[in-house]
A and B are shown apart, each in its own frame.
Chain A
């Protein structure tokens, strides 16, 4: 079945780096835009970044621009998020999501999430 599985979360000190991965299965990964969405503890959803199906287009929330980099490997059916210069406020569950039409108006498949904790 259609599935997204995130990995790579963990505890990191402020200023540190972490690389999240998302393994996709059950659909033609290379046909879809993909996004990362995060949710801080007890808070709402916050969009982080998206990437087009061929990696031609990427976009980032202002809160992570210049620190995070989204990428994908269509041959490996995988999505990535390189997070540098991490801050305490980046602490959140990070979800990998699929965008059905690339319009940014909906995410139809969500992973289970991976937890990132930034603390000294």
Chain B
């Protein structure tokens, strides 16, 4: 059971927009920055969003992050088949004194 809760899967058509939610609590998302990671099949995770809504150099602006209270959201616009991957949210949990992740969301581009 992950500390952060994500939907197991989401899907959308090419060119459309999709959002992936990440629900936590005041000890993690509510009071800390959130990061998002993309894991393409058979590869290591890659940082997509840090500090809740900042993109590392090289990450396209089709990817965006936001937060409201104890929930965070990853948005992906202009979906491409190459975006099919597992997406994870992560942050620090001040009560657990541990890095915590969501269970991951598998994105399918139909």
Contacts and interface: CB of A to CB of B under 8 A. Distances in A.
Most A Cβ at <10 Å: residue of B32, B98, B102: B98
Given A45-B45, A103-B32, A108 B97 contact: no
Contacts of B33: 103, 105-106
B97 A59 contact: yes
Interface of B is mostly: strand
Interface of A is mostly: loop
A105 B34 contact: yes
Interface stretch (B10-18, B19-27, B84-92): B84-92
A32 interface: no
Nearest to A62: B98
Given A47-B99, A106-B51, A113 B44 contact: yes
Contact of A112 (B2, B44, B51): B44
Contacts of A109: 47
Contacts of A59: 97-98
A105 B99 CA distance: 7
B101 A44 contact: yes
Nearest to B34: A105
Contacts of B100: 47
Given A107-B90, A109-B47, 19 more contacts: A44-B103, A45-B90, A45-B104, A47-B99, A59-B98, A61-B98, A62-B98, A95-B44, A95-B45, A100-B50, A104-B91, A105-B32, A105-B33, A105-B50, A105-B91, A106-B50, A106-B51, A107-B35, A108-B56
Interface of B: 2, 32-35, 37, 44-47, 50-51, 56, 88, 90-92, 97-104
